[in-house]
Structure 1
Amino acid sequence: MTEIRATDPSSWKTGPITPPLLHHATFMTLDVNAMVEFYELVCGMHPVYYGHDAAWLTNDLANHRIALLKLPGTVPPINKPHSAGLHHTAFEYATFDQWLDNYERLAAIGLEPHICFDHGMTMSMYYADPDGNGVEIQVDNFRDWGMSKEWMWASQEFAADYIGAPFDPAKLVEARRAGLSPDEIHERTYARQYVPEGYVPVLTFPDPWPDRIAADPTLLDGVPAPDAAPEHVLEPQG
């Protein structure tokens, strides 16, 4: 590739003329059941196929958006919050009220986001799945991808601070019940009027693995190899 660029610049293409669309993310896991339960609860994803060692989940017309694999040899991560790799996946609601209603639904059963930011183009709440992966639930502040993309590209605000303003989601619920519009809430949030009490900056998710390993040290042995070659079709869960 280097030789082509050096000898014939006109033939060098920086990318495909028709780019593929992002379709799904795949996670290696030690507990397929816990992960399926989490993504169903938080993101409304249901299994298209669900086996003992794998599952493929979707919440739209695609055949799957998340895949979960319990592969032989898989071991717990070390220092998960600070290891290079995937930080989070993201899911978007069409409206502010749908987004806020989802927060209230999860908060009612004790599931709270670990990180909340108004990034300018989106308002985002970040949860952690059972393996310590981040899951962003967001709503577009512009309600238009073209406009939010242009704001990210052109705005001085995003260039100066691409993280944005932290917020307490319970305060957003209060503001909405008081009659403020989504745009008014976004404006006040971005102006840092809803910062949590005693806020301490954090951009990483809690590490569940030390406690899990303490409870079950055999996790360090990893997923054992099957005694025989795996079947083409896994036995579904009952």
Structure 2
Amino acid sequence: MMMATGAEERPMTATDIVSPVKLAHFVLRTSRYAEIVQWYRTVLGAKPAFENELLTFLSYDDEHHRVAILNVPGLADQGEGTAGVHHAAFTYASLTDLLENYERLAAIGINPIYVINHGPTTSLYYADPDGNQMEFQVENYASVEESTKFFYSPAFAENPIGVEFDPAALLARLRAGEDEDMLKKRPDAGAKGLADIKLR
């Protein structure tokens, strides 16, 4: 890519790139409008900043909206084997928050489609009524530097996907007094790849 500099052009360098400061929101279109709006209100604890019969803006923090949902009648369901976004991810403040949210949702019949300790994060994946996948996670390390270091470790090279776990059992251990940092430490499961995990 070339960058104009008055009368001449020069190749763009890394110092010319301006990156965004944060990810603000994502937008879904659906023909299951009321059901999808209710699902996101429930799983995220979100409230509408605006809603009518065509559009809902939802937020769970100080951002005016984190999720927007468009009512588009007559859409086809998502097909298997098509390209697109695999999932969006939301970070919780602690393992306790993550697992108590799991327990709350499970009590009303909303269960993860798979759970996995990736190493850098402990994660629960859900599918909304349209099949869009959402990851709810907690950071396993106290700093970005420590998480990044794990990506360069032999353990990650051997198993870049992670290790599945039982969230109810993990919550019971947490409530029994086991240390959160120790519970977030990924166990050694040997070599694993995509074929070993129920990723969809």
User: Under a length normalisation based on structure 2, what TM-score does the superposition of the two structures give?
Assistant: 0.83
The amino acid that maps onto 2:138 is V
Distance in structure 2 (CA, Å) of the matches to 1:11 and 1:18: 15
Q: 8 Å contact 1:94–1:143 — kept in the other structure?
A: no
Distance in structure 2 (CA, Å) of the matches to 1:66 and 1:143: 28
2:71 is aligned to 70
Alpha-carbon distance change, 110 to 98 in structure 1, aligned in 2, over 3 angstroms: same
1:191 is aligned to 188
Q: 8 Å contact 1:112–1:127 — kept in the other structure?
A: yes
- Deviation at residue 14 of structure 1 after TM alignment: 4.5
The amino acid that maps onto 2:183 is I
Aligned residues: 190
Alpha-carbon distance change, 140 to 34 in structure 1, aligned in 2, over 3 angstroms: same
Q: How does 1:91-106 map to 2 (within 5 A)?
A: 91-106=90-105
Distance in structure 1 (CA, Å) of the matches to 2:15 and 2:66: 24
- Deviation at residue 69 of structure 1 after TM alignment: 1.3
Unaligned runs of 5+ in 1: 193-199, 205-238
Alpha-carbon distance change, 170 to 72 in structure 1, aligned in 2, over 3 angstroms: closer
Which string of whole-angstrom CA distances, capped at 9 and with x for unpartnered residues, describes residues 46-65 of structure 1?
A: 11111212111111111111
Which string of whole-angstrom CA distances, capped at 9 and with x for unpartnered residues, describes residues 157-206 of structure 1?
A: 2233221101111120222133211122123x5235xxxxxxx73101xx
2:30 is aligned to 29
Q: 8 Å contact 1:58–1:65 — kept in the other structure?
A: yes
Matched, 1:171 2:169: yes
Q: 8 Å contact 1:36–1:47 — kept in the other structure?
A: no
Q: 8 Å contact 2:26–2:67 — kept in the other structure?
A: yes
2:160 is aligned to 162
Alpha-carbon distance change, 102 to 15 in structure 1, aligned in 2, over 3 angstroms: farther
Flag the structure with higher strand content: 2
Identity %: 37
- Deviation at residue 155 of structure 1 after TM alignment: 2.1
Larger radius of gyration: 1
User: Under a length normalisation based on structure 1, what TM-score does the superposition of the two structures give?
Assistant: 0.71
Q: Secondary structure at the match of 1:149?
A: helix
Distance in structure 1 (CA, Å) of the matches to 2:65 and 2:38: 16
Greater CA drift, 70-79 or 49-58:
70-79
Distance in structure 2 (CA, Å) of the matches to 1:43 and 1:62: 14
1:151 is aligned to 150
The amino acid that maps onto 1:201 is I
| Partner residue of 2:197 out of 190, 194, 201 | 201
The amino acid that maps onto 1:19 is S
Alpha-carbon distance change, 168 to 15 in structure 1, aligned in 2, over 3 angstroms: farther
Q: 8 Å contact 1:95–1:143 — kept in the other structure?
A: no
Distance in structure 2 (CA, Å) of the matches to 1:76 and 1:171: 35
Distance in structure 1 (CA, Å) of the matches to 2:41 and 2:135: 14
Distance in structure 2 (CA, Å) of the matches to 1:107 and 1:40: 15
Q: Secondary structure at the match of 1:190?
A: coil
1:142 is aligned to 141
Distance in structure 2 (CA, Å) of the matches to 1:61 and 1:25: 16
Q: Secondary structure at the match of 1:107?
A: helix
Which string of whole-angstrom CA distances, capped at 9 and with x for unpartnered residues, describes residues 56-111 of structure 1?
A: 111111111111112366332222xx321011111111111111111111122222
Q: 8 Å contact 1:141–1:186 — kept in the other structure?
A: yes
